[in-house]
Amino acid sequence: MHVILAPAPDGRVVLKTLDAAGQPTGRDAAVELARLPDAVREIEHRSRPRWVWRSAPDWYPSFLAEGVSVERCHDLALVGGVLLGSVRADYTPVLPPNDRPTEPSGALPPLPAPKGQASLFEDAPAQGPRADVLEAELVAQLGAIRGSADPGRLRLLAAADSAGALVAAEMQAAGIPWDPQTHEALLAEQLGPRPRSGERPLLLEHKANELRGLLGAPKLNPDSPQELMRALHRAGIEAQTTRAWELREFRHPAIPPLLEYKKLSRLLAANGWAWLDAWVRDGRFRPEYVVAGVVTGRWASRGGGALQIPKQVRAAARALPGHKLVVADASQLEPRVLAALARDDAMAAAARDADLYAGIAAAGFGGDRAKAKVALLGAIYGATTGESGRLMPQLARLYPRAVGFVEQAARDGERGLIVTTHLGRSSPPPSERWKRLQQSTSAEEQRRADAAARDRGRFTRNFVVQGTAAEWAECWIAEVRLRLRRLAAQGCRAELVYFLHDEVMVHAEESVAEACAEAVREAAAAAKRLLFGDAPVQFPVSVAVVDSYDQAK
């Protein structure tokens, strides 16, 4: 059963009920905005429908603020984006482009109002398309999925992205438990006391002075790339950029303090006092997640750097008293996904151990794990020159199906073809500029065309693997969420608070932390079955039950 949520012209909210195929059942209702949370709670308890809305941020954050959560939804914006780009589906959208959100608003979700204040739903009604438009869009999407080349896979992808939308809203509302005092102490230890506005922290300024002395540049502002490059050249360091990997190539006494300065400066900019003031409130860090924000389907974040919490401040992500953090990491996800996609039984056998690279090394690289890793990642990411290129023939002899799979994706990309993930997310077509370049005839332009073709081949080679890994991970968190909801129904308090590509974090009461750890493991096995059935590839997850995030790694 589907229930569409849409604003009505009279200021109320329409609840339009449809069957599994998207056909109306005639059980429509219109409720006052202030009564909407209770109405949704009642329908959810009675029927557990799949809620249909233009985009989860239109409604769900406000429901969560009123203590109302739902089990399932169909996010028309996310599913429409998949279908519009997928070569497996014939889909004509109904929602006009200006009614199809492409990025989050940037605003944090509303938090529960203190007791005695008015309900969040006593304000103006939510804006957006009317129920008949959403119904037509849903019918178009369900029809496109049913008529696709592989409806089962596209249906799973639609459900996974929609579940991701619920998880993203719930994680933002819950927030990562964050101890400001610990964060302040970490900053003081590494940067010095909190500085006045416009000043560098004391230890960072000391490092800057050391650098000025070693470079003979007493007025150097090391935060200015132009000034820094001039100072480096005057000191005989002929670097072309100030990137760390290039600076490490030079032997000069100024290089170590410069690298340390850059490291501390990044900490100050990304997670310093300004970050703490802006993003942590009431003991929680609440970033905004962007579901399928990357073209491969990976998530992104908007503000706060949620997907790049550096090691220097992870100790501040700390469980509340009486609670634990359950931190799980899917080991070597993308190589295992490649083995499953290619149905390469030999690579699957190497992946049976916790360390896939060690298994590959034992099979054909003389036990040298580093070489095995370089070769396999080179195959996935297209680094087929240098050391990885030298090792590629041995990898291809060991695992011809896996190497052949990514090589075919690369050749397709080089020819301008579109590649598709396991569940049906397709890569973008080549640009018109790319196409024109491929038709060029001059020698110089042909060299550029060949380089552009190789670049696109590297992209499509990785797209199928990274995109399918993103699908596995989204199914994983959806399964984790379902299991946590079952625990909550038994009175156990646990919440999913963080997700990063192949890692999840659950904040749980200490008494149920081990049960949550087992739920995370079970969810990984369920995600594998959903995507790959009985394929002999294992997807192990390492789980740590800890007091703070830094203890998990």
In a domain, 476, yes or no: no
| Number of structural domains the chain divides into | 3
Quote the domain boundaries for residue 246.
Answer: 180-277
Confidence (pLDDT) at 197: 86
**Calpha distance 93→91 (Å, rounded):** 6
Instruction: Answer whether residue 530 is part of any domain.
Output: no
pLDDT in tens, the chain (553 residues): 999 999 988 889 999 999 888 888 877 889 999 999 999 999 999 999 999 999 999 999 999 999 999 999 999 999 999 999 999 999 999 987 656 554 433 333 333 333 333 344 544 445 678 999 999 999 999 999 999 989 999 999 999 999 999 999 999 999 999 999 999 999 999 999 999 988 999 999 999 999 999 999 999 999 999 999 999 999 999 999 988 889 999 999 999 999 999 999 999 999 999 999 999 999 999 999 999 999 999 999 887 887 889 999 999 999 999 999 999 999 899 999 999 999 999 999 988 877 899 999 999 899 999 999 999 999 999 887 788 888 989 999 999 999 999 999 999 999 999 999 999 999 999 999 999 999 888 888 889 999 999 999 999 999 999 999 999 999 999 999 999 999 998 988 999 999 999 999 999 999 999 999 999 999 999 999 999 999 999 999 999 999 999 999 7
Q: Are residues 192 and 169 in the same domain?
A: no
Q: In angstroms, rounded to a whole number, what is the distance separating the alpha carbons of residues 282 and 271?
A: 17
CA distance 41 to 94: 29
Listed residues 129, 144, 174: the one ending a domain: 174
* One domain, residues 148 and 22: yes
On whether residue 115 sits in a domain, the answer given is: yes
Residue 299 maps to a domain: no
Q: Which residues contact 265 (CB under 8 A, 6 or more apart)?
A: 204, 222, 223
What's the pLDDT score for residue 118?
37
Which of these three, 416, 450, 467, is where a domain ends?
A: 467
For residue 203, what is the domain's CATH number? 1.20.1060
Helix axes 369-381, 333-342, angle to 10 degrees: 70
Residues 191 and 165 in one domain: no
Q: Measured between alpha carbons, how far is 393 from 89 in angstroms, rounded to an integer?
A: 37
Question: How many residues make up the chain in this entry?
Answer: 553
pLDDT at 351: 82
522 lies in a domain?
no
Strands (E), 23-115: 29-31, 50-53, 72-75
Q: What is the CATH number of the domain that holds 426?
A: 1.10.150.20
CA distance 174 to 168: 10
Query: Residue 126: what pLDDT?
Result: 52
Given 467, 484, 514, the domain boundary residue is 467
pLDDT in tens, 205-259: 999 999 999 999 999 999 999 999 999 999 999 999 988 889 999 999 999 999 9
Q: Are residues 10 and 91 in the same domain?
A: yes
Residue 110: the pLDDT is 36
- Contact predicate 288/172, CB 8 Å: yes
Residue of 549, 396, 524, 544 whose CA lies nearest to 469: 524
Residues 165 and 191 in one domain: no
Asked whether residue 35 falls in the same domain as residue 169, the answer is: yes
Residues 44 and 89 in one domain: yes
